[in-house]
């Protein structure tokens, strides 16, 4: 699989019935219009939410009075680095999806289409900043130096995370929707009490914005002026629920009700995501409190590998967003400005293939966990009920012990049964 094939992947056509597709198309027509240029029409009456954009879908640089200066230090080498980050993150994600389809992983949550939001914001962080992710921030993990293969242990069922959060200031993945925003807020309050000038960032999706935990974290962070950035990746769909089922106003405007600013950025523009996140983090470090960043992007694939998006969204919607692909957008800019040649892209293709092979090899070599280990750390000092359950489970496991070789007659019967 080459960089070209991953970046220019054609969305699969729906295989459902005509009624199903018509229903999905009707739902898509109700959704908020896709942003064009520097503005987009939001779901709120008469609202014209500003969209921060520094790179057009055609790969042209755009200027912004507030945010352009924040990426003035970006060099051609930096641009190639951002492109490499996105391509390799997408390749890793594609390998993980394939491994799940092959039965090597129990589940996988793809980030396809959200690479710019994650790489842009991830590269805005300092080493001493702390990240609280959901379960889809594979690109941010890449930016924090977490080995991609360490992300797969939990999805294979061999560990509870696979990395030390304090080694990279990147917390373990959070499966419970929205709860990490409270963890981030509490951590940020502690950072402020310690007098540190570092910042905290919490990632969540548009669906999580409806959770009470997120509302509570907004309240506490505002009241205590916590140095936290809330980074919402609005990928338009909370599984099968469209954004208008989550809010009557653009998500970033919710921050106003809590007393801190919000901004909407083109989530498929890696430069804009970098600039806006830098500004939000700098603001937090200066002691000016929280900020909400809404990265307006799109989930190109399924919510997870157990989901079938063809049941609830139309092909036309996906194809419209495909034209805004974040990787192709930056490639066009690199080629337009002469900042990358064919040798660079070819070398990256080769690196991508190497990464894919390493991911496959590492996953298949992961050792099976001890099934009895689930009882070891439930209570620090032990518990009679857990001890009883351990004994019962041990007896159950022992009942599967092979009783010996099967004779030829039995083997023949088994083969016939298959």
**Residue 263 is inside which H or E element, if any?**
strand 262-266
Return d(Cα 61, Cα 335) in angstroms, integer.
Answer: 12
Q: What is the DSSP pairing of strand 228-234 with strand 291-296?
A: parallel
Residues annotated as part of the active site: 299, 303, 312
Backbone φ, ψ for residue 6 (5° rounding): -80, -35
Q: Would you say 267 and 233 are in contact if contact means Cβ atoms under 8 Å apart?
A: yes
CA distance 32 to 41: 7
Sign of the Cα pseudo-torsion (25, 46, 43, 274, in order): positive
What phi and psi values does residue 165 have, to the nearest 5 degrees? -55, -35
Residue pointed to by tokens 């924040």: 70
């Amino acid at each position: 699989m080459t960089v070209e094939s991953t970046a220019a992947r054609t969305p699969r056509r729906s295989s459902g019935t005509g009624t199903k597709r018509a229903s999905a198309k009707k739902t898509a027509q109700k959704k908020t219009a896709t942003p064009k240029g520097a503005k987009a029409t939001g779901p709120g009456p008469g609202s014209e939410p500003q969209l921060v954009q520094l790179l057009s879908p055609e790969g042209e640089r755009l200027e912004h009075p507030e945010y352009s200066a924040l990426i003035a230090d970006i060099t051609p080498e930096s641009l190639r680095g951002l492109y490499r980050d996105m391509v390799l993150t997408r390749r890793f994600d594609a390998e993980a999806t394939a491994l799940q389809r092959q039965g090597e992983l129990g589940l996988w949550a793809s980030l396809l289409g959200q690479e710019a939001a994650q790489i842009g914001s991830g590269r805005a962080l300092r080493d001493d900043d702390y990240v609280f992710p959901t379960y889809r921030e594979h690109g941010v993990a890449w930016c924090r130096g977490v080995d991609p293969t360490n992300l797969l242990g939990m999805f294979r069922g061999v560990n509870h995370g696979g990395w030390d959060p304090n080694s990279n200031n990147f917390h373990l993945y959070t499966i419970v929707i929205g709860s990490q925003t409270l963890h981030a807020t509490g951590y940020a309050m502690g950072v402020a009490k310690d007098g540190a000038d570092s910042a905290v960032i919490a990632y969540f999706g548009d669906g999580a914005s409806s959770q009470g935990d997120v509302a509570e974290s907004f309240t506490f962070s505002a009241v205590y002026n916590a140095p936290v950035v809330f980074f919402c990746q609005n990928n338009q769909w909370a599984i099968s629920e469209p954004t208008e089922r989550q809010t009557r106003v653009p998500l970033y405007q919710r921050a106003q009700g809590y007393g801190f600013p919000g901004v909407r950025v083109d989530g498929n523009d890696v430069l804009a995501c970098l600039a806006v996140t830098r500004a939000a983090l700098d603001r937090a470090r200066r002691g000016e409190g929280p900020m909400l960043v809404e990265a307006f992007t799109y989930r190109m694939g399924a919510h997870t590998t157990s989901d079938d998006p063809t049941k609830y969204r139309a092909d036309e919607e996906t194809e419209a967003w495909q034209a805004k692909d974040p990787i192709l957008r930056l490639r066009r800019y690199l080629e337009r400005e002469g900042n990358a040649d064919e040798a660079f892209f070819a070398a990256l293709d080769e690196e991508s293939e190497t990464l894919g092979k390493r991911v496959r090899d590492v996953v298949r070599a992961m050792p099976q966990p001890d099934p009895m280990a689930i009882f070891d750390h439930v209570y620090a000092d032990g518990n009679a009920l857990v001890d009883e359950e351990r004994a019962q489970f041990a007896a159950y496991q022992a009942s599967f012990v092979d009783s010996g070789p099967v004779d030829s007659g039995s083997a023949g019967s088994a083969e016939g049964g298959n």
